[in-house]
A and B are shown apart, each in its own frame.
Chain A
Amino acid sequence: MQTFRSRLSIAVAGASALALAAVTGCAPDPAPAPAPLPIYGKFDPTQTRTLEGVVTKLDWRNPHAHIFMNVVSDGEIENWAVELESPSELHLSGWNGESLVPGDHIVIEGPLARNGSRQIFGHSVRRDGSSEQLFVLNPDLPLRSSESRPAPRWPDGHVALGATPDDTREGYWGYPSETALVEDGVDVSMNVYGQLADIDDASRVAPMQPWALALYEHRQERFLQDDPMFLNCKPPGGPRQYQSRLGLQLVEDLERQRVFVLLGSGNHNYRIIYLDGREPVGQVGGDDDNPLYYGRSVGGWEGDSLVARTVGFNEDFWFTNGGLPHTSQLALTEKFTRVDFDTLRYEVTIDDPGAYTRPWSASWELSWVDGTELPAHICQENRP
């Protein structure tokens, strides 16, 4: 799978004395942003504008920050809302809630809202009168050591999936090499949100039943704007929890024989993989039939890989970026292999006879982000 990865430049440069602002027309199509939100469901990348105006407020809240600005157009003042990345993403790039203050003169470039409202996504934000970029939101993997380091191990010899007690630094797994499910061996082009470059490729993505393919195409044709993870803060269950560059932590509780999967995106949830030999059924009498967003996971070690089996999913969420459907018959087999200190290979087999014609597999890698805790992006208040 090819992904459109490019750098989102959000820049704030030197001040300008210009007091009035104006709508200045169309700008070149900016590169897709690596936002955790499929922004093109809300914003149209084919309709971009450049706006000059005066900041009236910076709304620094999860899951997406907003700049409100006054723009003068044909002698009338218009109030525009500029949507930005999440505060956690912006913070990693040097922004904070005081980076802009009311009265600042700024120039925005980005795609306009599809519904015609005065909303624009801020692919580029700079101070009026300067092209200097002070801050750049960089989705690329942080520099890693040039030396390949072996995967750490616990005293009993098995590979540590996260930080070990003798590590002095924390870390997490992020920056997945793929951000949407595509069957291994299939080469289709899609962006980081799982939006296909060519809708005619839909049937190649996975072996879908006719209804599932039609539903997938419908979601794609609507630019993924109906994604319940963003509309309603629904959890990123299934393989989707490994598709966010905001990542996850794998915390092993050796004594209690379980692995906690702590998510850095979505609604900041967690999942447990039990390694104590139990069956994947409800842990409280009577809830065995209650389907869950993360299902029920059990697993064990096969060599240096942790293999988890998960069943018991509900159908209230999208289990991957891009909108491939699943049903409650979904059974996942996941294989986690820490190839070296900085690389986690994730392999998943999807067995869902409710939506697919046969079991199929996908795989990708995540990178170790050293020396930091999980980002604190939290979908909240159903505020897309």
Chain B
Amino acid sequence: MRARLFSAAVILCALALPGHTQEGHPLKGSWIGEWQGNEVHDEFVVVVLDWNGREITGTINPGTDNIAITSAELNAEDWTVRLVADTEDASGRAVDYVITGTIEDLELPNRYIKGTWQNGSGRGDFEIRRQ
């Protein structure tokens, strides 16, 4: 419950702040949101993405979980996104995430990605907004 309240508070604060303009690659930047129903890594999620001209790289929950994104794809024809990340849970069991979604409000600094996440044992809605 506390985690939910914390997540909601952070997201509300994030939504209230004007986004930092990012007019380059649409995925580059810091994103904050939720992967709902995630019992392994909490529902609150931070994603940091970068673009080096050839590939998208990034990390989920940097500083805490440090989940490296192993594959990231952007289809610019419909602005769909697919992120893949491999990690472990607290017991050392492999957890492989696949996140799919679409960039909404592409033209806005605080554009967001809305879709779903799934791993071997769970799935849910996924939404992160660029900060």
A positions within 8 Å CB-CB of B: 209-211, 213-215, 218-219, 222, 226, 228, 232, 234, 315-318, 325-329, 353-355
- Let me know if B52 and A354 touch, CB within 8 A: yes
- Let me know if B25 and A327 touch, CB within 8 A: yes
Total A-B pairs in contact (CB under 8 Å)?
58
From B16-24, B41-49, B64-72, B115-123, give the one contacting chain A: B16-24
**What 18 new A-B contacts, CB under 8 Å, besides A215-B106, A316-B22, A327-B24?**
A209-B53, A211-B76, A214-B79, A215-B26, A226-B108, A228-B21, A315-B24, A316-B20, A317-B21, A317-B23, A325-B24, A325-B25, A326-B23, A327-B28, A329-B53, A354-B25, A354-B52, A354-B53
- Interchain CA distance A222-B28 in the complex, whole Å: 22
Chain A's closest residue to B24 (CB) is A315
B107 at interface by CB-CB < 8 Å = yes
Chain A's closest residue to B77 (CB) is A214
Q: Could you jot down 24 A-B contacts, CB within 8 Å?
A: A209-B53, A211-B25, A218-B106, A222-B107, A228-B21, A228-B23, A232-B21, A234-B21, A315-B22, A315-B23, A315-B25, A315-B28, A316-B20, A316-B21, A316-B22, A316-B23, A317-B23, A325-B23, A326-B24, A327-B25, A328-B24, A354-B24, A354-B52, A354-B53
Secondary structure at chain B's binding surface: helix, strand, loop or mixed? loop
- For residue B107, which residues in chain A have a CB less than 8 angstroms away from its CB? 218-219, 222, 226
B15 at interface by CB-CB < 8 Å = no
Secondary structure at chain A's binding surface: helix, strand, loop or mixed? loop
Interface size range on B against A: 10 to 19
| Least distance between A331 CB and chain B CB atoms (Å) | 12
Known: A210-B76, A213-B76, A222-B107. A355 touches B23 (CB 8 A): no
